[in-house]
């Protein structure tokens, strides 16, 4: 299909955002299309979570145009939110609830019937090996188990667009394999995925397009192969270091150890 004739699922034009005198986003332009898995990467503090929060309508006070499914995010139309799933970097899960209570509550917020969502949640918990704790309080879960509940909660309503912020934090190797495959299959079904993470080898493998944010600006946008060709580097980690101008990891570690040892 010719790109010019496709409607973007998500469109950002000249997005700028400041916190006080700290300009965090300095003019972001980005169009994302159906079925894409975007790996959104950048150093700590680059502005990734700020971008995602603006897209979700959780943050205002910005300038520029931000549209999802052709609707301005600033209008706060709740219809578009029904088509979105989100796994935040750090989530407030209602610890005192059981997974059954929590997931059915979330499902009902999205307008699903209790029976339907309960059935679906129980099956998804079973796939993640958690059927035996479906009725246990989330407070008793390990980190990885909680993360699985969050992933399930983002997918219960079969959303069109998914935002994942470090979604595999705490997941074991087998679960990561399942999750990566899940992303590929969701994208093949036409879902669009916005995936923000620091785990470069995973981003490299799962994304069909990588967007690198540096100090509030997009400094690279393309498939891994394209970025590799342009930067003549082998891994995404090396491309990331090159584009963010970072080469001092050894010196920084040496200084750190030296201070720890009381030599400085
Ligand atoms: P990380 O990889 O560490 O999660 P990030 O790229 O997601 O980083 P953001 O969380 O978007 O970065 O933060 C970008 C900048 O905005 C940082 O300098 C941060 O201090 C600042 N910032 C974020 N939220 C706020 C806030 N509510 N008030 C003031 N400053 C904020």
Tell me the per-residue pLDDT of 64-106, one tens digit each, with 9 for 90 and over. 999 999 888 888 777 888 899 999 877 777 889 999 999 999 9
Q: State the pTM of this model.
A: 0.89
Closest ligand 1 atom to 89 CA: 4
Per-residue confidence band for 222, with pLDDT thresholds at 50, 70 and 90: very high
For residue 45, the CA-to-ligand 1 centroid distance in Å is: 5
Ligand 1, pocket residues at CB < 6 Å: 19, 22, 24, 42, 44-50
> Does residue 124 have a pLDDT over 60?
yes
Please, which residues bridge with residue 82 across strands? Answer: none
On the 0-12 / 13-18 / 19+ scale of CB atoms within 10 A, 197 is: buried
Computed over its alpha carbons, how large is the radius of gyration of the chain? Answer: 20
pLDDT on residue 5: 58
For residue 13, the CA-to-ligand 1 centroid distance in Å is: 20
CA nearest to 24, candidates 249, 257, 214: 214
How much is the average pLDDT of 217-230?
90
For residue 46, the CA-to-ligand 1 centroid distance in Å is: 7
Write the residue with the smallest CA distance to atom 26 of ligand 1: 19
In the numeric block, which tokens belong to residue 145? 């188990």
* Average pLDDT for the chain: 90
Q: Which residues 6+ apart lie within 8 Å of 251 measured at CB?
A: none
The DSSP line for 28-83 is: EEEEE-TT-EEEEEE-TTSSHHHHHHHHTTS---EEEEEEETTEEGGG--TTGGGG
For residue 213, the CA-to-ligand 1 centroid distance in Å is: 13
Q: For 127-182, write each residue's pLDDT tens digit.
A: 999 999 999 999 999 999 999 999 999 999 999 999 999 889 889 999 999 999 99
Write the residue with the smallest CA distance to atom 11 of ligand 1: 47
């Amino acid at each position: 299909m010719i790109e010019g004739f496709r409607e973007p699922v998500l469109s950002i034009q000249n997005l700028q955002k400041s916190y006080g005198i700290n300009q965090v986003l300095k003019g972001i332009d980005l169009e994302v299309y159906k079925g894409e898995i975007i790996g959104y990467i950048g150093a700590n503090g680059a502005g990734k979570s700020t971008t995602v929060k603006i897209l979700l309508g959780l943050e205002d006070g910005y300038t520029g145009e931000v549209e999802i499914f052709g609707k301005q995010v600033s209008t706060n139309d709740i219809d578009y939110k029904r088509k979105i799933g989100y796994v935040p970097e750090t989530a407030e899960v209602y610890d005192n609830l059981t997974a059954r209570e929590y997931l059915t509550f979330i499902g009902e917020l999205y307008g699903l019937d209790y029976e339907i969502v309960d059935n679906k949640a129980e099956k998804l918990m079973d796939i993640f090996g958690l059927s035996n704790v479906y009725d246990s309080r989330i407070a008793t879960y390990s980190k990885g188990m909680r993360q699985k509940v969050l992933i399930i909660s983002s997918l219960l309503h079969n959303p069109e667009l998914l935002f994942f912020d470090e979604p595999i934090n705490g997941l074991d190797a087998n679960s990561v394999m399942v999750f990566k495959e899940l992303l590929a299959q969701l994208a093949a079904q036409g879902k669009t995925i916005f995936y923000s993470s620091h785990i470069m080898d995973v981003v490299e493998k799962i994304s069909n397009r990588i967007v690198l944010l540096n100090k509030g600006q997009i400094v690279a946008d393309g498939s891994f192969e394209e970025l590799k060709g342009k930067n003549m580097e082998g891994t995404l980690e090396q491309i990331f270091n090159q584009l963010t101008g970072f080469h001092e990891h050894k010196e920084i570690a040496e200084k750190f150890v030296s201070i720890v040892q009381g030599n400085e």
